[in-house]
Structure 1
Amino acid sequence: MALLDGILRLVLLLATLWGALALGYRAALPPCGRWLVVGLWLLSGVAWLWLAWQGARLGPLAAMTMQMMALLGWWRSLRPAADLDWADDVAYLATGDVEGHRLTLHHVRHFDWHTPHEASGGWERRTYDLRRLQSVDLFVSNWGRPGIAHVLVSFGFSAGGAAEEDFVAFSVEVRRERHERFSEIGGFFKQYELAIIAADERDAVRLRSNVRGERVTLYHVTLAPEARRDLLLALVAAANDLACEPRFYHTITANCTTLMFAMMRRIVEGLPMDHRLLLSGLLPGYIHDHGGLVPGYSLHELRRRGDITQRAREAHDAYDFSRRIREGIPGWASPERRP
């Protein structure tokens, strides 16, 4: 009986805490009203816990069950939005069309960031020849939390002649409203919508390495030409779907790593689930173990040689920014490299 009492108290405690967080992050009320609702929820939860500690079982369990049924009914009614006052950097979602070998991306961001929250520049339509798709690279940006990072996937297109290769980076991000700031806890409680952003590398990479001061590591991904194309088109298809049907961001189940894994499984059969898919900073180790990075190097060596942070800062305004940050990267060591 002591075990059952312990389980009951734990269930009551978890339900109390979850409900308080859900109401605190998502109740559409003024701050004072929200705090009042959260306080009442906590007060009732404490009351049921106190009764459970006094030996009651059925009463506290029935009361919390009714509360949770009402709360979950409200929770299921929440729907992601498409037309809020979005922050400038997530004002547009990536969308694309494919006609033959030509891919047109309609909203490619090309911001010049001055501070982490201020930028000039805008959005433009860009066209790419899928026959010139030459590379896939993984950028992992870490801000000091073990196992936690942001992942970008960049596709490189040869330009021919003396022109520089053209790169477009895709990033799965939180779609914040203009007044919002990111909260990892809020990401568990439907606080944000999901965004897939297409951006110039000089925007997406420099924002993290040069402006926010994060450590950015580049890994060249060794996909076959057909798999590269399939991955790019899968990303575009996912972006188009998201633009038509908004989704909530979730810190674990719908973030930059989990969405990328879902697309990779459509291309490479048999990829197993792994805890490193939940800890985005460990994703390169997962890809390395499954033969997706340049062979002949340990993961430690790829990480050491792939640290582009200093090169990105030195190449800040260079027209050939993307080429400079790739100097010495395994898989990119030779400028004449063609996969």
Structure 2
Amino acid sequence: MVLLALWVAGLLTYQMPGPGWLGGAVALLWLLAAVWAAWQVARGRGTRRLWAAFAGALALAGLWWLLLTPRQDRDWADDVAQRLHVESFDGRHVVLDNVRDFTWRTETDYDARWVRRSYDLDQLRSADLVLSYWMGPAIAHTLVSFGFEDGRHLVFSLEIRKERGESFSALGGFFRKFEMTLVASEETDIIRTRTNARGEDVYLYRLHGMDRNQLKTLFAAYIDQARQLDAAPGFYNTLTSNCTTIVFDLARHIAPRLPLDYRLLASGYLAEYAQEVGALTPGVPYAELHAKGRITERALKMAPDDDFSTVIRQGIPGTEQDPQQ
């Protein structure tokens, strides 16, 4: 009864129309009523009527939950204003519309640019796991960057699709507060903004053990996800549909027996999990991978005319044979 009451309170807090304080106030009143009802039931007073009232309230909340539907037509923040669109894909050649290529000076000062990009998946040569820490050691945003033989990189990132002026809430992510979007971006945008504009601490690890066919399979899985979200919106879920769980789900296209692990939720420790399952550069202790994988200082200190993707990979185990630009 307590858990169900808390769920309804969360629903009221994050889905109640009107100002934010109104949802919090109604949720508090609901919790007070639920506590009073539980106390009456414990004392054996009005048990049948109270249970009937509680069940009715739950039924209404459940109906409300089912009627919540994701949308594509809100006033979106600039960095998620466009949906990634797959113009064409024949299994090898892909053309993507709305690849993000912003120039960020600060979080609020930027040049917005959405571009069309073409890629030949036969030219895939690498995939890197990128973890960006924004709230302590246990929580990191997870991205995957694909490298091509011509030195280009494309980063995929599953994110909440924020409305203008909206900010992320992990609790809100449990209550269908946010739609989700798949962003495809240049590294100079989506990684550099984290190191240079937002002040996050970013680590990059070379993913090991995938041949070109497996890289193509993983890339194609992202393409399929992009098509799904372009065709029909979906809700972000802090537990089941977030930036880390999608990486795990897509990786299972290659390794179906990947074990579940708590580090899929405590995403800050995802690199340790990846090493344990043999997905990072072999023969290198995790402490060394972690230390050499920290790209924040290199990104902050690089000269304006340096190649971003080359500089951030300097010294990272497994990247020694990457093309130099």
| Match status 1:266 vs 2:260 | no
Deviations 1:10-60 (A, max 9, x none): x2x322222122111112235565455434423421321231342344443
Counterpart pick for 2:139 among 148, 152, 158: 148
Deviations 1:106-139 (A, max 9, x none): 1110111122233113100011111211110011
Aligned to 2:40: 51
- Cα distance in structure 2, aligned partners of 1:35 and 1:329: 47
Aligned to 1:76: 66
| Match status 1:184 vs 2:170 | yes
Tell whether the 8 Å contact from 2:13 to 2:20 is kept in structure 1 after alignment.
Answer: no
Aligned AA (1:306): G
Aligned AA (2:294): D
Secondary structure of the residue that 2:230 maps to in structure 1? helix
- Cα distance in structure 1, aligned partners of 2:309 and 2:264: 27
Tell whether the 8 Å contact from 2:122 to 2:212 is kept in structure 1 after alignment.
Answer: no
Tell whether the 8 Å contact from 2:130 to 2:143 is kept in structure 1 after alignment.
Answer: yes
- Cα distance in structure 1, aligned partners of 2:302 and 2:130: 17
Counterpart pick for 1:294 among 256, 270, 281: 281
- Cα distance in structure 2, aligned partners of 1:243 and 1:316: 37
| Match status 1:172 vs 2:161 | no
Change (3 A) 1:85 1:272: same
Moved more, 127-136 or 142-151: 142-151
Tell whether the 8 Å contact from 1:94 to 1:236 is kept in structure 2 after alignment.
Answer: no
Change (3 A) 1:115 1:233: same
Counterpart pick for 1:197 among 164, 183, 192: 183
- Cα distance in structure 2, aligned partners of 1:310 and 1:81: 39
Aligned AA (2:90): E
- Cα distance in structure 1, aligned partners of 2:21 and 2:131: 40
Q: TM-score, normalised by structure 2?
A: 0.93
Moved more, 203-212 or 309-318: 309-318
Offset of residue 191 of structure 1: 0.7
Counterpart pick for 1:251 among 225, 230, 238: 238
Give aligned-pair identity as a percent.
Answer: 40
Secondary structure of the residue that 1:266 maps to in structure 2? coil
Offset of residue 184 of structure 1: 1.1
Counterpart pick for 2:103 among 107, 112, 119: 112
Aligned to 1:3: none
| Match status 1:38 vs 2:27 | yes
Q: TM-score, normalised by structure 1?
A: 0.89
Moved more, 146-155 or 115-124: 115-124
Aligned to 1:127: 118
Change (3 A) 1:100 1:273: closer
Change (3 A) 1:289 1:33: closer
Aligned to 1:206: 192
- Cα distance in structure 2, aligned partners of 1:100 and 1:136: 18
